[in-house]
Amino acid sequence: MLKLDFHPAGRHFLQIPGPSPVPDRILRAMSLPTIDHRGPEFGVLGLKVLEGIRKIFKTTQPVVIYPASGTGAWEAALTNTLSPGDAVLMYETGHFATLWKKMAENLGLKPEFLGLPGTEGWRRGVQADRIEARLRADAGHTIKAVCVVHNETSTGVTSDIAAVRRAIDAAGHPALLLVDTISGLASADYRHDEWGVDVTVSGSQKGLMLPPGISFNAVSPKALEASKTAKLPRSFWGWGEIIEMNKQGYWPYTPSTNLLYGLAEAIDMILAEGLENVFARHQRLAGACRAAVTAWGLDIQCADPAVYSPVLTGVMMPEGIDADAVRKLIYEHFDMSLGTGLGKVKGRMFRIGHLGDCNDLTLMATLSGCEMGLRLAGVKLAGSGVVAAMDHLTRHAVKPALGMAA
Ligand SMILES: *Cc1c(COP(=O)(O)O)cnc(C)c1O
C-alpha cells in the first residue's frame, strides 16, 4: 500500500519529461491569494502574461491561454481552423504525433499519416521532402493543414520546423502549418513568426516549469482568418471572444489565476536568464546525458544526431531487459521518476528528462541514480556514464547565472 503521508528524506527527483520540477520561486508566486478575475488587478496580471508569453514564442501575434492541459490546446488548434471532413497531413514521429492524429479522427477530420514502417520513424524527425512531395501531388489543395510535433516527447527527437515551412512553400500549397511544441517551448529553440507557423500549441508543465493546467495557442493572421470560416463545432475553445477580451487582460470565463501568477514568474526567470542561454543550457545538459548513455554502451532512441532533443534522452534497453522494471527499481531505491516508454516502444526504453529547472548537479544526480539502478537491474554496462557526463560538463564548462556578475 502506498502511503501518501510518508515523506522520504531529501527531494524526490522528478526526471520525467514533464511535468518538470516547479522551482520554489514559482510555487511561492502561486501562493498569492486568488483575486477577482474581473477586478482591476487581474487586468494588470492578464496583460503582463499575455505580453510576456509572446516573447517566449517569439511572436508579435496573439497567444491564447487556456485553463487546460496541452491536449485541450491541440483540440483548440484543430477546431478553430478546420471543418468536418477536412484532410490533414500528419507525420508519425512517435506517441504524441499518434495521439494528435487520433484526436483529428475523433473530431471528424481525415488525417493522413506519413511516416516510416514499424518504429523506424520513432527514431528520427520529420522528413520535410516527403511532406513537399505529398503536397505537390495534392494539386486540388484538398489538404487543409500540415500538423507536426516539434519535440517528440515519447522519443527525444526534434523536427526541423523551418524545413517543413520551406517544404510547404516550395510546393506552393496553401495548407496551414500547425505545430505541437508542448515539450519544446522554453527549452528548445522555437520561432513562431520566423518559421511561419500558423498555430503553435504548447503547455505549462514542461519547459515553462509550471504545474500542469494551462496551455497555449499562438495564432498567425492566416490562422485567425481561417477561424472565421472553419466549421468544426467549438465554444470553450473559440479564439474570437478570448482574443477580444484579452485586449483588456481578461477572459470570457474564469482563468487559472494562480497558474497565471506562476506564469508571470516563469517568464521573468526565463527572460532574466535569456532565452538563448536557456537553450544553450539545455543543449549542454543533453550532450552530457548522451555522453553517459554512450559510455554505458546503450543506444539512444534518436538515431539522427542532427535532431537530438535538448529536452530529454530516450535510453534503449538491451534485448531481454524490461525498461519499466528498471524504472521501477530506480524509483524504489532512489526516489526518482523516469519517463516510461510510450506506445510502440513501451518496455523497450525509458526517458531521462533534463528540462526546465535543471542544472549540472541535478543532471549528475539523475545519471548517478540511473547508473546505480542499471547495475542493480543486472544490465551490463560498458563503462561509467557518470564519469563520461562529468567529463563532458567540465570540458564544456560554463558558469551558471548566479546573479554575482560585477
Ligand atoms: C505532454 C505532451 C502532450 C500532452 O499534453 P497534456 O498536457 O498531457 O495534455 C502533447 N504533446 C507533446 C509533445 C507533449 O510533450
Integer Rg of the chain from CA: 21
Q: Which atom of ligand 1 is nearest to the CA of 203?
A: 7
CA 181 – ligand 1 centroid, Å: 9
Q: Which atom of ligand 1 is nearest to the CA of 212?
A: 7
Cβ proximity of 46 and 246 under 8 Å: yes
**Which pLDDT score is estimated for 252?**
98
For residue 319, the cross-strand partners are none
**Distance (Å, whole) CA 341 – CA 318:** 14
Residues of the chain with pLDDT under 70: 1, 401-406
Q: Which atom of ligand 1 is nearest to the CA of 69?
A: 7
Count Cβ atoms within 10 A of the Cβ of residue 172 and give its class: 0-12 exposed, 13-18 middle, 19 or more buried. Answer: exposed
Cβ of 343: how many Cβ atoms within 10 Å?
A: 15
Domain 13-20+274-395 fold is: Aspartate Aminotransferase, domain 1 (3.90.1150)
Task: Using a pLDDT cut of 70, give the percent of the chain over it.
Answer: 98
**Which pLDDT score is estimated for 1?**
65
CA 378 – ligand 1 centroid, Å: 33
- Residue with CA closest to ligand 1 atom 2: 182
pLDDT in tens, 283-320: 999 999 999 999 999 999 999 999 999 999 999 999 99
Cell of 28: 511561492
- Provide the terminal-to-terminal Cα distance of the chain, rounded to the nearest Å: 53
Domain 24-271 fold is: Aspartate Aminotransferase; domain 2 (3.40.640)
pLDDT in tens, 335-354: 999 999 999 999 999 999 99
**Which pLDDT score is estimated for 406?**
43
**Which pLDDT score is estimated for 403?**
61
Half-sphere exposure of 162 (CA within 13 A, CB side): 6
Domain with CATH 3.40.640.10 in the chain: 24-271
Best residue among 179, 183, 351 to mutate for probing ligand 1, ranked by most atoms within 8 Å of CB: 183
User: Looking at residue 341, what DSSP letter applies?
Assistant: P
CA 71 – ligand 1 centroid, Å: 6
180 lines ligand 1 (CB under 6 A): yes
- Position 39, amino acid: G
For residue 151, the cross-strand partners are 158
How many residues are given for the chain? 406
Task: Consult the annotation and say whether 351 binds a ligand.
Answer: yes
90: phi then psi, degrees, rounded to nearest 5: -120, 170
Domain with CATH 3.90.1150.10 in the chain: 13-20+274-395
**Which pLDDT score is estimated for 404?**
55
**Distance (Å, whole) CA 313 – CA 292:** 10
CA 380 – ligand 1 centroid, Å: 33
